[in-house]
Structure 1
Amino acid sequence: MRAWPEMYGDLLPAGALPADAAAVAEAWRAAMTRPADARNRVLVALERNRVVGFAVTSPASDPDCDPVADGELGELVLAPDERGKGHGSRLLQAAVDTLVADRFTRAVTWVVSTDDATRTFLTDAGWAPDSAHRELDLDGEGTTTVKQVRLHTAIGDRAGRD
């Protein structure tokens, strides 16, 4: 929740981000204890005993993706004061390793089109745009929308695994 204002503050109207940490924690607890797919994972980056970031991986859900071959990096979030310390790189590598262990051969992720820092971080790590884009309606009324581009990368070879 500490990272959300920096990540989404320019995209959402004031007061749109959740403020009740207990409610957010309960929603996450429910999602993690009853995942829709056994390949839904949450990875956590720690600095000693403090959570400094997390990543979420799952089968890709886009209609043009293959849920057997394509995994998705759904979230990659770091606490703002923990950026630049290597946590993001380690967390991204752990997420890719997890997707490979789940037998995916390609990973996709969606990035806000104006988020140059995240896009550069991912492209420097070998990800590239795949020409897919979308516009999300965040408030259901069309007044708060966000444009995203999809990035992808090859992560494994299925040869010899099947």
Structure 2
Amino acid sequence: MSTADVRTAGPADVTEIARIQLQIWRVAYAEILGQQVVDGLDAGDLAKRWSGAVEHPNTNVYIASEGSFTVGFCVAGPAPEEEITSADGTVPPDADRTGFIATLLVEPRWGRRGHGGRLLATAASALREHGAERGITWVAQSDSASLSFFRGAGWNPDGTVRTLDTGERTVRELRLTGPLDLRLC
């Protein structure tokens, strides 16, 4: 049986992170984002962007592995004001104690093996260590798998929605919020 693990990503991991994003977006998000958007993605450009995220001082990037394979990743950090502001423009009183899960992706072929839960639990633990008391994330309303995953962790829509324009489609996203003291099965 292979060993499953989560660790902090380093510069040597950005190529694998870019590969996973590209693979998942091509398989799972082409219909949501639009085929032109997905076809326009370049692994080299993504790797450069992920280099910046891995090296950013207020961002934690984690990778999940099984055996020698990198199977997923998660990006977390303090919630930026623009991500936590309510639709009416107000900032919640706990904004400085709110963490942000910017991305959490696991390759579908490695799904249902606990990698997503381990990634979220690791990110949540680190956010708590830095003073966060709750977390937020955005999920496409049509992404039933991600919505189900976060709901299983006790995260639910807070009533805030946004619409993103990809140039080919509009994507309605729900903001989810939940505890950082996770009890995942």
Return the TM-score normalized by structure 1. Answer: 0.84
Ranges in structure 1 where 5+ consecutive residues have no aligned partner: 157-162
Whether contact under 8 Å (2:33, 2:171) holds in the other structure is no
Q: 128, 137, 144: which is aligned to 2:169? A: 144
Which residue of 46, 53, 57 corresponds with 1:24? 46
SS at match of 2:23: coil
1:31 is displaced (CA, Å) by: 2.9
* One of 58, 73, 77 as aligned partner of 1:39: 58
Q: TM-score, normalised by structure 2?
A: 0.74
Mapping of residues 52-63 of structure 1, within 5 Å: 52-61=71-80, 62=83, 63=85
1:133 corresponds to 2:167: no
Establish whether residue 154 from structure 1 lines up as the match of residue 179 from structure 2.
yes
Once the two structures are TM-superposed, the CA of residue 14 in structure 1 deviates from its matched residue by 2.2
Q: Quick one: distance in 2 between partners of 1:50 and 1:129?
A: 33
Kept in 1, the 8 Å contact 2:76–2:103? The answer is yes
Matched, 1:10 2:31: yes
Identity of aligned residues (%): 32
- Counterpart in 1 of 2:8? none
Amino acid at match of 1:52: V
Distance 1:152 1:13 in 2: 27
Does 2:137 align with 1:109? Answer: yes
Equivalences, count = 150
**Alpha-carbon distance in 1 for matches of 2:41, 2:157:** 33
Q: Which structure has more helix as a fraction of its residues?
A: 2
Instruction: Provide the alpha-carbon RMSD of the alignment.
Output: 1.7
Residue 51 of structure 1: how far off its partner (Å):
0.9
Distance (whole Å) between structure 2 residues aligned to residue 103 and residue 127 of structure 1: 19
Which structure would you say has the larger RCO, counting Cα contacts within 8 Å and 6 or more residues apart? 2
Gap runs ≥5 in structure 2? 1-21, 86-90
* Paired residues of 2:53 and 2:61 also in contact (CA < 8 A): no
Q: How far apart, CA to CA, are the structure 2 residues paired with 1:91 and 1:31?
A: 16
